[in-house]
Structure 1
Amino acid sequence: MEHEQHLVLLAKTAAGDQQAFASLYGATSAQLYAISLKMLRKKEWAEDAVQDAYVKIWHNADQYQTGKGTVLTWMISIARYRALDLLRYYKIRNEQELDDTTQTADNIPATPNSQDKKQLDICLEQLESQQKQAIHLAFFKGLSHQEVTEHIDAPLGSTKSMIRRGMQLLKRCLGI
């Protein structure tokens, strides 16, 4: 049911309905923020990534294609790509290294969507160790498939297959 609600709100957003966009933001922002924060590990950077993602969502709402996944999946990919852009930007600018003392998604106070994070953690635990590591490196650390391959010492084709199968298992587990 959630996907249908998001679809209606996105269609209204594409037509310029600011109220629908505000509702869509309210329904999805915690998830996009959690993913951005997990990737970027800095609250300010995650906030920037989410803000930029919603600007892009507002301007490109009419470009969503139902056959390519749910509205939430589409929105998450926009936020993820923006977070990757920011990671590259700060890496190029030689910003300080991200460290484990920076606030992470695990430190976020309980929110109505903290259940989503718990479910994701449960689903991740069901994956094989190397598969979980590959997905973590690719989606939360922003590494390319080639970089993941080098890190886990596996062939490129195997790494891509491992990530694809792992994502399929996560989608089934999460009901996406």
Structure 2
Amino acid sequence: MTTQTPSQDIADLISRCAMRDRAAFRTLYDRTSAKLFGVVLRILRDRSEAEEAIQEVYVKVWQRADRYVAGATSPISWLVAVARNHALDILRARRPVSDDIDVALEIPDAGPSPERAAEDSDERGRIEKCLGLLDVERADAVRGAYLDGFSYEELAERYAVPLNTMRTWLRRSLIKLRECLTA
């Protein structure tokens, strides 16, 4: 009596599954499902999804057992390949289907229109011109407060003036800017 290696035993079970032997299929499942479940779980990273996928893997094994060629690959390698490919198919199905490039043409541009960009540029130029009419320190304080987000306290420290003086600088500078911009 010759004893079969575990690999030969699994190959025999697969060939019996090809002949629709349900008892062989049950034995094949009992002997290999833990390993294949580990493969599928490692790829999918979700236990419930892996449990469902392993059932689908064994349906494929049942349906494709006649495709296994003994000796070409080890039987467990063939089973792992079926499981791995099925898990990868599930991962690919998760990815959203990319839209046609023509759809991208319909996406509105969040940026300003060319006309608006030109108007903004003109307005920025006017503001910079009016800021240029202010004392350099006061213009820098206005930029710091209203463009860079510095607090009045931070600006008072930077220019070494009392807090109320900084507030006065900013208030008077804004009044001059308004007068310049409306002129």
If the length of structure 1 is used for normalisation, what is the TM-score?
A: 0.51
1:8 CA displacement: 1.2
Q: Which residue of 1 is the match for residue 25 of structure 2?
A: 21
How far apart, CA to CA, are the structure 1 residues paired with 2:43 and 2:71? 27
SS at match of 1:92: coil
1:92 CA displacement: 2.3
Q: Which residue of 2 is the match for residue 86 of structure 1?
A: 90
1:91 CA displacement: 2.2
User: Deviation above 6 Å: which 4+ runs of structure 1?
Assistant: none
Max Rg structure: 2
1:11 aligned onto 2:15: yes
How far apart, CA to CA, are the structure 2 residues paired with 1:68 and 1:4? 13
How far apart, CA to CA, are the structure 2 residues paired with 1:92 and 1:2? 42
1:36 aligned onto 2:40: yes
Q: Which amino acid aligns with 2:13?
A: L
SS at match of 2:40: helix
8 Å CA contact 1:40–1:46 kept in 2: the answer is yes
How far apart, CA to CA, are the structure 2 residues paired with 1:83 and 1:45? 9
Gaps of 5+ in 2: 98-183
1:73 aligned onto 2:77: yes
8 Å CA contact 1:49–1:83 kept in 2: the answer is yes
Identity over aligned pairs, percent: 37
How far apart, CA to CA, are the structure 2 residues paired with 1:44 and 1:68? 33
| C-alpha RMSD of the superposition | 1.6
Q: Which amino acid aligns with 2:44?
A: L
Q: For residues 105-140 of structure 1, what are the alpha-carbon distances to aligned partners after superposition, in whole Å with 9 as ceiling and x for unaligned?
A: xxxxxxxxxxxxxxxxxxxxxxxxxxxxxxxxxxxx
How far apart, CA to CA, are the structure 2 residues paired with 1:3 and 1:67? 10
How far apart, CA to CA, are the structure 1 residues paired with 2:37 and 2:31? 12
SS at match of 2:20: coil
Count of residues in correspondence between the two structures: 94
8 Å CA contact 1:45–1:86 kept in 2: the answer is no
Q: Which amino acid aligns with 1:46?
A: A
1:64 CA displacement: 0.3
Q: Which amino acid aligns with 1:8?
A: D
Gaps of 5+ in 1: 94-176
